[in-house]
Each structure stands twice: as structure tokens, then as C-alpha cells.
Amino acid sequence: CLWVRNLRLKRRLPGPFAWPVVGNAMQLGQMPHITFARLAKKYGNVYQIRLGCSDIVVLNGDKAIRQALIQHSAEFAGRPNFVSFQMISGGRSLTFTNYGKLWKVHRKIAQSSLRAFSSANSQTKKAFEQHITAEAMQLVQMFLQQSADGQYFDPSQEFPVAAANVLCALCFGRRYSHDDLEFRTLLKKVNKFGETIGAGSLVDVMPWLQSFPNPVRSVYENFKSLNEDFYSFVKNKVGQHRETFDPEVTRDMSDAIINVIEYGKYSGLSKEFVEATVTDLIGAGQDTVSTAMQWIVLLLVKYPDIQAKLHTVIDKVVGPDRLPTLEDRHSMPYLDAFIYETMRFTSFVPVTIPHSTTADVTIEGLHIPKDTVVFINQWSVNHDPLKWTDPQIFDPTRFLDENGALDKDLTNSVMIFSTGKRRCIGDQIAKVEVFLFTAILLHQCCFESDPCTVISLDCSYGLSLKPLQFYLRAKLRGKLLGLVS
């Protein structure tokens, strides 16, 4: 009867024994996504762990994750009310706000302004492409400079500047020099953002850790400070836009967002949501793209044969006298395959930003109550042996069919931008950026590591997985080209 049914539904989900006070925190290890996948083998793809005072449901594998995020999209579209989430973008973040009417309006505004400045028509597409090309060529110059006299350098310092500049060009109509120390320092600080936000971070689930000095408390304080610094940087720029705003002339994305939120039909969002939106977009688009590029150059030096094959493809399609453009993309499926394989193999956003349930929901026959924190293990989708042959092997050709064309079914199976209502809104922009950066860097340079060092794929865990420090050098291939008009 009903009582027995309720009892069965309310039964605790499967999962490991949770210790008092800490729960399973000590079992997560250095790479929680790998631990989550291992636990799935024992408890199934939907199970429960406890971190501090929070019960958390972990979803693994292609089937369970797509069932939850697509078939029950609204029920899984929430965000937990973690204290750290309220420190982001002045407390008005679109990314870290719970599901609801306000979030929907906010997301639509961000999505349509991104589209308006990147892909709305052929003119904006071209302008966007030129920003990326300009940044890629700055990178080429920086890399060649730093490789002078055969020296090896750490490339991780320059990618954040390049990725942030693409967003600054869209949002503020300006870029910053690689020599701008203030900008570099800000980005270096923001680089630590993901350490606190990544699934499995303990600051939000063990709030008592903040009350006495310990490493977690300092992570928390640094997190607060980096968010304040980044938000003030954006607020200052948006303030300048407000002072010179002319509704007849939309100079950039800040103007477009001011126009919708402050001058448009009632959006329900106060004017402070303008700086929050811009902070979110630059923040989300900067670290992810720059991490993708770090993995790409690392894999290029780790696998010189693959790099050589990419050089051959680019030389054949583009030739020595011009830079690659977006139009070349469909003629270079092997380059796209290399990028998809980098995303799959590294799964550098291994677990999405934590979700929460907005209502009671049943998945794979298991009941999950409203307001439960949910971790979505994207890594497990990309390494599912039922889906991928030898998932632990890096092999771009897995994405090519017998005619050498890109297998769209397989590329769509890679999960790095999540799916459902919270899917990344910058996925198209990110793919264009990563393609052009990679194509231009490879067209202009050959990358090599120090033969005396072994290239390791070890990384640090956070919202994104970042390779440990590594060194390489760049050599010019052919002539150094200027900007295409």
C-alpha cells in the first residue's frame, strides 16, 4: 500500500558507509572523479555519499546522466545554496543561482548578447574571428620570444591572457597587453577560482572548518578576495560604459547588456545584474578555454607524431601564405578530431558545477528528494568502456569514419559542456576559439619539449583539471604572418 511504497522510495540510496562528522570526505582522494567512477562499479551509476553535513547524489555514466539532465531537466536544474556561491559576481551570478524565473530571464539575456556578438550574422562572425586571430598571433609572438636561444618556457602563463582578452574584446571593446602586470596578477588570482568550486571541495559542506585556522579556511578567504577583485575590475569597466552610454550606439556587449537590463522592457533584474553578467561571462570563458589550450599544447609535445600529422593537414589545406580561418574547419576533420579527443581524454571539466534537485525525482528507480546536492561526473561519460574502445588511450582517429570524415554521433557523445537546462552557454564560442587558436599556433609554430624531461599528464583537481607545470619551446615554421583583413 501507499505506506510501504513511500518507505521503499525513502530508503537511503546505495553508497559507501559514511563516517560521523566528515562522512566520505577522506575517501575522495586527489582525483574525486576517478573515485566517483570506481564507486559506481560497486554501487551503480546513481549512489549517495556524505560530505560533512551534506548528503550528495553522484551520477555516473552516459545513460543515467542524460536521463537525469534531459528527461528530468527541470528537476535537476537547481544549484545548491552554498555560501561560496554567494560570493561570486557580487552575489548575482547567473551560473551559481538556483533555478527559477529570475535565473531564466538572466540566462536568456546572457545567451542572446553572446550570440549577438559572436554568431548573429556574417559581420559579427568575422569580427569575432578577427579578435581570436589577433590574440593567437600575440601568442605566437610571445612564444617565439620566450623560446629565443632555444630556451624552454612555461606556456600556462600566456593562455589566460589570450582567453580573457577575447572576452574583454567582446565585453569592453578592448584588450590588455601580455606585459600588463596588473591584468596578469588579476588573472593569476582568478586562476585559483576552480579549486574552491570544484565538486568535492569541502568549504561549503563543512562550514565549521571556517571557524579556526586551517588550510580550508585560507582557501575560503582567498576565494572571497579573488571574487571581490575580479568583480571590482568588471564593475569599474561597466561604470565607464554607463557614463558614456548612448542607446543609439551599441559599442560592445557591456552596452548591449546595459541596454536590455537598464533601458529595456521590465526584465526584473536590477542594474547590478549588468556587472554580474559580464563577470560571469568573462570568468566562465577565460579559465576553461585557457585550460583547454594548455592541454592541447601539452598533448602536441607528448605526441610528436600527431603534431606532425596536424602540420601536414594544415599545410595541405591552408598553405604557407595565409593564416587558417574558420572556413578551413570543414576541410580539416583531423584537427577537429584532435580537439574532441583532447576534450574526451582529459575531460578537463571532470564534474560539472554542483547541481541540486528542484523537486522530488526518481531516476533509475531510485528516489532523490528535493534540494539534494547532485554531482555529475562528466569524466565517467567520456571514459565509459561501453561507449569507447580503449578509453584510456589518446587516439584522435577514433572520431573519424572510414572516409576520414568526422563522426558526428561520436563527437556529440563527448560530454564537457554538460547537457540539459544548465548546459554551458559558451560552447559554440569555446569551440571556435579552441579551433582557431590551435590551427594558428600549429600553422606558425612547431612545439617541442626538453628531451631530458618526461612529459607527464598529471594534473591538479578543481572545477577544471590543470596540467602540472611543464616546459616547451616553439620554433617558427615558414614565415611569420600578419593579420588577415
Residues of this chain that interact with ligand HEM (CB under 6 A) are: 94-95, 107, 110, 114, 167, 280-281, 284-285, 288-289, 292, 349, 352-353, 416-418, 422, 424-426, 429-430
Residue 78's SS3 state is: strand
CA 245 to chain centre: 31
Tell me the residue number closest to ligand HEM, measured at CB.
426
Q: What's the one-letter identity of residue 383?
A: H
Q: Which three cell numbers stand for residue 374?
A: 547532485
The set of cell numbers assigned to 23 is 562522512
Cα separation, 420 vs 424, whole angstroms: 9
- What angle (nearest 5°) sits at the alpha carbon of residue 422, between those of residues 420 and 425? 105
The answer to whether 465 and 350 are in contact (CB under 8 A) is yes
* Cβ 26 to ligand HEM shortest distance, Å: 26
**Rounded CA gap, 166 and 170, in Å?**
7
Contact 94, 280 (CB under 8 A): yes
In the complex with ligand HEM, the residue whose CB is nearer, 51 or 199, is 199
Please, what is the Cα angle at 109 between 427 and 171, to 5 degrees? 70
3-state helix, strand, coil in the chain (%, to 5): 55, 10, 35
Q: For residue 228, how many C-alpha atoms fall within 13 Å in the half-sphere facing its CB?
A: 6
- What residue ranges in 364-472 does DSSP mark as E strands? 366-368, 373-376, 445-448, 459-460, 466-467
**Which DSSP helix (H) or strand (E) runs through 242?**
helix 215-243
CB 72 within 8 A of CB 363: yes
- Pair 186, 230: CB distance under 8 Å: yes
Q: How far is the CB of 57 from ligand HEM (least distance, A)?
A: 14
CA distances from 333 to 7, 68, 95, 341 (A): 53, 32, 32, 12
> At its nearest, how many Å lie between ligand HEM and the CB of residue 226?
18
